[in-house]
Amino acid sequence: MTEENVLTAPRGKDAGADGEPLLRVSGLTKHFPVKGGFPIRRTVGAVQAVDGIDLTVHAGESFGLVGESGCGKSTTGRLITRLLEPTSGSIAYRGRDIGHATRKQLAPIRSEIQMIFQDPYSSLNPRQTVGKIISGPMEINDINPEGGREKRVRELLEIVGLNPEHFNRFPHEFSGGQRQRIGVARALALEPKLIVADEPVSALDVSIQAQVVNLLQKVQRELGIAFVFIAHDLAVVRHFSQRVAVMYLGKIIEVGDRDSIYTRPRHPYTHALLSAVPEVNLADDDSGGRERIRLAGDVPSPISPPSGCRFRTRCWKAQDRCGTEEPPLVRIPGNREGHLTACHFPEEPTIEARDEDIVLDPALAALEEGQAE
Amino acid sequence: MTTLTKEAGAPHPAGAGPLLAVRDLYVSFRTEDGVVRAVDGLSFDLERGRTLGIVGESGSGKSVTNLTILGLHNPVFTTVDGEILLDGRELTTARESELERLRGNKVAMIFQDPLTALSPYYTVGRQIAEPYMKHTGAAKKEAWQRAVDMLGKVGIPNPRERAKDYPHQFSGGMRQRAMIAMALVCDPDLLIADEPTTALDVTVQAQILDLLKDLQQEFGSGIIFITHDLGVIADMADDIMVMYAGGAVERGTTDEVLRAPRHPYTWGLLNSMPRLDSDLGAPLSPIPGTPPSLLNPPSGCRFHPRCTFQDRVEGAGRCVRERPLLAPDRSSACHLTEDQKRTIFLEEIKPGLG
């Protein structure tokens, strides 16, 4: 699996002209109806999976989307690729709103926005050969590359580090990491400008994850493809993305460049999330301690999210104002350019250990109190 | 034979020797494709009140080892060879009825996926009370009260009412808490936690890990903690055993293994894992290749097809011919000399870790 292949797709052609972002999402909302009642099932509520988010992705940039399960990050990915239709809001791809475009209107754009899925086992058709899987998008879009589709498939296999001779094999003959490479090759087949990668490495073993992350990074840099990288692993997102957005219960609560989010976070939830990541401390002494924040309970249901700020039910800084007034996503004093936070009472921009740990979990607090005595 | 702790052999009330001793354990399964040698000559000890972290990728044999300790393997297709001594009692040859008395009582297990591990038909309270009634002979009412107490202890709000709920009415984090309550209800000596937080979100994972640590202090159980996440192990374990392709490749205390690892596979794991403070300029350095098939494991050192250091071993082809052994105490199963291991880590691996 050589990593030194020369990639052949056109680079930077008509991408990112005059600063217009490749993708501009505004007020994006997706509510899934909840049916109930008998004998006639009526809509009794809605899962507010994504609730009015704004984001921009520039050409050639890698944009990370992190959050815990149920925060709406995957739904956002599916909306951007238009596998789902938004309830409201707009998705402007190169200045054109594709939020409610019909199949026909979407057809020319589909080839430019591709997706890489989480599960390399269920996202490849077991009855098709690798060659068929990768050339499928070309067939559908009636694209006949120079030298034929088979030649292109071989090229793609080589780019993703698989043996080009294996194009006649079936998915079951490959390991998990190799399958994910096939998924990457399929996404690259149409020379896309934007790839939405939904947890592309979380199903893989640790030693294999790094191989696929490196491959995606190589593809992103050398082909200049913009990525929306969705993952729950904060370290992987940090490694891959230049800008990062943190989601909680269908909202973006903080967005900014990588450095701002990981070293100068302002939103209490971002603090809690970063402090919860289990880390190997490789320093020879125990210096450089991080803050310790232990939240109570789980994420509330997106069917009836809390009023005002959605994080307030688990936040140690919540006050009356948080319940009545939803904090806007703005650049608060002390933030760098482009670093937006949605919080009324932001935290200090540091992740150093605090004088006192924040332990909100009642069982933990009780046990630790007992042991301290 | 081998001990993981420095203060091994200290006398304790319930008899001499470690709480759990596994000696030369071999486990293989007959499958349609051939014999899978899932565990291949494994030995380790666990002292009372300590936590042993077992790290490895899928297929490294870490889960099979622990299912074998509990006797949960299917005896029809499985061949077990070796010794598993719990408090001096041999488990591999024990009768089913004897194992039944141990399970849930002296040895308890926390599974990865609490939704499939809990029965959907019974209330959470009843599922926690049942092993308590069975093992202590307590009356129904007393056992129910114990279940409510345990739920309160693991942080379920309003435990008296929530004990009457069914598992589907609990959130993921609460289900895992209920599993922990069930595992601890009989105050077990040994708790086996098989990837207990892999299915949970990070903020909930942090709560559960801290809860387990705090409860261990209170209950004093020995814990075997299985995971693939080095960050989690660094947080939880006193001692670490790294497994690869059915065998242990390195062991020592957590500090030793993570700060001065001596096996190329451990180096590879540390190298391939991005951290929140790692250097961003360089690409990750993955371990080349893929884990081997256990149907047909590589000869000699199991790791040699993926190892980039084998040409430095004295004697050409030694890694292919001869399987390195894991010596007692702090050690790694690798043909490199101790000096080589130390210098390679300090000069070539550590700088890359940022």
| Interface with B, mutate which of A2, A222, A367, A371 (most B CBs under 10 A) | A367
H or E segment to which residue B226 belongs: strand B222-227
d(Cα A217, Cα A224) in Å, to the nearest integer?
10
Sorted by where each starts, the structural domains of chain A and their CATH numbers stand as 17-33+46-241 (3.40.50.300), 259-278+289-372 (no CATH)
Residue A41: what residue type? R
The ipTM of this complex is 0.83
Chain A hits for B274, Cβ within 8 Å: 210, 213, 235-236, 238-239
Determine contact, residues B209/B197, Cβ cutoff 8 Å: yes
Contact B276 A279 (CB under 8 A): yes
Cα distance between the two ends of chain A: 58
Q: How close A280 comes to chain B (CA, Å)?
A: 5
d(Cα B145, Cα B136) in Å, to the nearest integer?
14
Q: Which of A68, A280, A371 shows the shortest C-beta gap to B214?
A: A371
Q: How close B97 comes to chain A (CA, Å)?
A: 36
Q: What is the pLDDT of residue B159?
A: 92
Q: pLDDT for A92-122, tens place per residue? A: 999 889 988 888 888 888 889 999 998 888 8
Q: Within an 8 Å CB–CB cutoff, is residue A234 touching chain B?
A: yes
Contact B201 A234 (CB under 8 A): no
Q: What is the pLDDT of residue B173?
A: 85
Q: Which of A210, A279, A362 shows the shortest C-beta gap to B231?
A: A279
Q: Which of A207, A258, A296 shows the shortest C-beta gap to B287?
A: A207
Q: pLDDT for A21-73, tens place per residue? A: 999 999 999 999 988 888 888 888 889 999 999 999 999 999 999 998 888 99
Q: How close A210 comes to chain B (CA, Å)?
A: 5
Q: How confident is the model at residue A284 (pLDDT cuts 50, 70, 90)?
A: low
DSSP strands (E only) in chain A: 23-36, 42-57, 62-66, 88-93, 96-97, 113-116, 194-198, 226-231, 243-248, 251-257, 293-294, 340-341, 358-359
| Interface with A, mutate which of B55, B204, B211, B254 (most A CBs under 10 A) | B204
Q: How close A306 comes to chain B (CA, Å)?
A: 17
Q: How close B99 comes to chain A (CA, Å)?
A: 32
Q: What is the pLDDT of residue A368?
A: 83
For chain A positions 8-67, those within 8 Å of chain B (CB to CB) are none
pLDDT > 70: percent of chain A = 93
Q: What is the pLDDT of residue B9?
A: 39
Q: What is the pLDDT of residue B160?
A: 93
Stronger pLDDT, B200 or A248, i.e. the higher one: A248
> Helix A206-223 and helix B264-272: axis angle, to 10°?
40
Nearest one of B182, B181, B156, B154 to B169, comparing CA atoms: B156
Pull the structure tokens for residue B225: 């903690």
| Interface with B, mutate which of A4, A205, A209 (most B CBs under 10 A) | A205
Q: pLDDT for A311-325, tens place per residue? A: 999 999 999 999 999
Query: Is residue A10 predicted with pLDDT exceeding 80?
Result: no
Chain B hits for A299, Cβ within 8 Å: 201
Query: Is residue A80 predicted with pLDDT exceeding 90?
Result: yes
Residues whose CB is less than 8 angstroms from the CB of residue B98 and which lie 6 or more positions away in sequence, other chains included: none
Q: What is the pLDDT of residue A77?
A: 93
For residue B341, the tally of other CB atoms under 10 A from its CB is 22
Q: What is the pLDDT of residue B2?
A: 43
> Helix A176-188 and helix A149-159: axis angle, to 10°?
130
How far apart, in Å, are the Cα atoms of A154 and each of A124, A130, A168? 18, 10, 10
Q: What does the DSSP assignment read for A98-146?
A: -TT--HHHHHHHHTTEEEE-S-TTTSS-TTS-HHHHHHHHHHHTT---T
For chain A positions 257-286, those within 8 Å of chain B (CB to CB) are 258, 262, 272-282, 284
Q: Which of B172, B207, B214 shows the shortest C-beta gap to A368?
A: B214
Q: How close B239 comes to chain A (CA, Å)?
A: 14
Chain A hits for B270, Cβ within 8 Å: 280, 282
Handedness of CA B186, B191, B197, B203 (dihedral sign): positive
Q: Mean pLDDT, chain A, as a whole number?
A: 87
Q: Which of A68, A213, A296 shows the shortest C-beta gap to B201?
A: A68
Pull the structure tokens for residue A312: 């307030």
Pull the structure tokens for residue B296: 């047909």
Query: Is residue A18 predicted with pLDDT exceeding 70?
Result: no
Stronger pLDDT, B99 or A10, i.e. the higher one: B99
Residue A191: what residue type? E
Residue A179: what residue type? R
Contact A277 B217 (CB under 8 A): no
| Interface with B, mutate which of A207, A217, A236 (most B CBs under 10 A) | A207
Q: pLDDT for A213-233, tens place per residue? A: 999 999 998 899 999 999 989
Torsion of CA B200, B206, B212, B213, to 10 degrees: 160
The residues pairing with B80 across neighbouring beta strands, listed in sequence order, are: B27
SS3 A362: helix
Contact B274 A236 (CB under 8 A): yes
pLDDT in tens, chain B (354 residues): 444 443 433 444 445 678 999 999 999 998 888 899 999 889 999 998 899 999 988 888 888 898 899 888 888 889 999 999 998 889 888 888 888 888 888 999 998 888 888 999 999 999 999 999 999 999 999 999 999 999 998 888 889 999 999 999 988 888 989 999 999 999 899 999 998 888 888 888 998 899 999 889 888 889 999 998 888 999 899 999 999 998 999 999 999 999 899 999 999 998 888 888 888 878 888 888 888 888 888 999 999 999 989 888 888 788 998 889 887 777 889 999 989 999 999 998 888 876
SS3 B92: coil
Q: Which of B230, B273, B276 shows the shortest C-beta gap to A262?
A: B276
Determine contact, residues B278/B353, Cβ cutoff 8 Å: yes
CA closest to A261 among chain B residues: B276
SS3 B187: coil
Query: Is residue A14 predicted with pLDDT exceeding 90?
Result: no
Q: What is the pLDDT of residue A288?
A: 59
Contact B211 A236 (CB under 8 A): no
Q: Which of B235, B286, B350 shows the shortest C-beta gap to A214?
A: B286
Per DSSP, helices labelled H in A203-342 are 206-223, 234-240, 258-263, 268-276, 320-324
Q: What is the pLDDT of residue A345?
A: 94
pLDDT > 90: percent of chain A = 50
